[in-house]
Structure 1
Amino acid sequence: MGIRRSVLPGLLAALWWAASGPQLEAGAFQVVPVYVYLEAGNPRATLTVSNTGEEELTVQLQAMRWSQDEQGRDRLEPTTDLVFFPRLVKIGVGQERIVRLGLDKPQPAETETAYRLFIRELPVAKPGETVLRVAIEISLPVFLSVPKPRPQAAISGAQLRQGSALLQVLNTGNTHLLLKKIRVIGRGQDDREEFVQEAMGWYVLPGIERSFAVALPQDSCQRCRSLLVSIESEEGSLERTIEVDPAQCIPPPTESRTRP
């Protein structure tokens, strides 16, 4: 995936990928791997940052402790637990550098611990250049594994409301849950398929319940008798059926703005 530079000042593109591919590309650099698992007995790993652009590249690294609140929203806090070297990396055109990371004094735990490692490009303006550069930032998940992983998830709630299928996913295990895809299939008379809507998922950390919403086509929704909602994760899939109230297929009215 390539990111173009822009003339907009002060813009920071923060890319939070839940990638499943072997490498992550942002603008003029690539990172391998796209996520890191640290073993409690040997919490060490390496990353490879490659310069795929046409100019010398400088990137800066920062580690954050990653958690989620009661609504499943991501929270990031500075941490010194995750150590890495170097913190500032200069990479020539077509070259690559190794970043070493690990945990300082890891403590045994029954629940997986999560971090985010941010890698941010530091754009350098050339003399006489009038185009302002964009800082590209990517965020890699880093997990401290547990001796006895126990992945477990459930769909704790599902309903149709104001034109969207609303889904609550509860992670009752001791490791993270990565929802790759959320799918809603509308079924009408004689179980005929009326539509299929899909949305990207996200991480649900241990002990967290997170809500997801999938907007539905109103006309097709009102022809349905039921909705089959499914989630696809690394551990498998879960399904839930929702009975359709046609009145709930109507999205909320949009606010109209009038010019003064």
Structure 2
Amino acid sequence: MPTDLKVRPWRCWQSVAGAALLGFSLASSGATFSVSPVRIYMQSRDRATAVTVENEGDTEVVMQGEVFQWTQKADGTDELTPTDDVILAPPILKVAPKSRQVLRLANLKPVPPGEQLTYRMIVREVPEAAQPKEGVQVQVSLAFSLPIFITPPGAKQRLLCEAKRATPDLLVATCENQGDAYAQPVNFAVRAASGSVLLSQDVSGGYILPKMRRRFELKQPANGPALNGAAKFAVTQDDGSVQLFDVAVSD
């Protein structure tokens, strides 16, 4: 799995009325960022950990960070709530050109036995106070969100999945995490009894937090192999493990 994040932004002034906030890969500071790690793992005995932000560009960048409790709603969408469980220091950082800044995350909440705690650290670039030369213009800024997992001994994911046809060219996969730690499918595949792959689709942002359920749509390619009858539904997770589930895909 990835251990660092490269952000290669550009300076972009736009003649629009509102500011745009973009994700990992874009920004306006004229710099290139490297963030490590991109996922933060802590054990229940850990009290603090570090995240490094490196500015590989030629201009100073000012950034502000916050930590949120990360849960999911019944439909699987993420919900972020401000929290003081995990403290970020410093909350505001200035990263000089060609230099790096270390952020410290300190966990203040006792971890319940057998229950993984999940948070997200969001760091946003503070736009420069520069004035555009012409027109009403705003600067596009950088923001990145890093998941934080604080895991007690023995906590594991337990994923159960099924797949059913919704329309002639669409399958809907439903996965429920009955475990005590997050699961993250990165690929779904339907395999025939012979083992041949009838359908394969990568998944982006497929986190399923403990005791939560999510639905995923799988589009059948035009002129692809027929999907009908008994098959195996293969779920590949972020650690490379593969789980197989028996499914019956009917017309």
For the aligned pair, the TM-score class normalised by the smaller chain equals 0.7 to 0.9
Q: Distance in 2 between matches of 1:192 and 1:32?
A: 38
Provide the residue aligned with 1:199 in structure 2: 202
Number of residue pairs matched?
231
Corresponding residue to 1:178 among 162, 180, 184: 184
Shift of residue 75 of structure 1?
0.9
1:169 counterpart letter in structure 2: C
Provide the residue aligned with 1:59 in structure 2: 63
Provide the residue aligned with 1:41 in structure 2: 45
Shift of residue 87 of structure 1?
0.7
Provide the residue aligned with 2:174 in structure 1: 168
2:41 counterpart letter in structure 1: Y
2:100 corresponds to 1:96? yes
Shift of residue 182 of structure 1?
2.0
Corresponding residue to 2:152 among 146, 162, 172: 146
Moved more, 227-236 or 106-115: 227-236
Corresponding residue to 1:211 among 212, 215, 219: 215
TM-score, L = length of structure 1: 0.79
Provide the residue aligned with 2:21 in structure 1: 12
Q: Distance in 1 between matches of 2:200 and 2:9?
A: 27
1:182 counterpart letter in structure 2: F
2:229 corresponds to 1:220? no
Provide the residue aligned with 1:237 in structure 2: 242
TM-score, L = length of structure 2: 0.81
Which ranges in structure 1 are unaligned for 5 or more consecutive residues? 16-24, 246-260
Is the alpha carbon distance of 1:199 and 1:4 closer, same or farther for their aligned partners in structure 2, counting shifts above 3 Å? farther
Secondary structure at the aligned position of 1:177 is classed as coil
Is the alpha carbon distance of 1:55 and 1:229 closer, same or farther for their aligned partners in structure 2, counting shifts above 3 Å? same
Question: Is the CA contact 2:41–2:150 (under 8 Å) kept in the aligned structure 1?
Answer: yes
2:72 corresponds to 1:68? yes
Moved more, 104-113 or 198-207: 104-113
Shift of residue 147 of structure 1?
2.0
Secondary structure at the aligned position of 1:210 is classed as strand
Q: Distance in 1 between matches of 2:26 and 2:113?
A: 34
Q: Distance in 2 between matches of 1:128 and 1:12?
A: 18
Secondary structure at the aligned position of 1:71 is classed as coil
Is the alpha carbon distance of 1:89 and 1:220 closer, same or farther for their aligned partners in structure 2, counting shifts above 3 Å? same
Provide the residue aligned with 2:3 in structure 1: none
2:70 counterpart letter in structure 1: W
- Alignment RMSD (CA, Å): 2.5
Question: Is the CA contact 1:199–1:214 (under 8 Å) kept in the aligned structure 2?
Answer: no
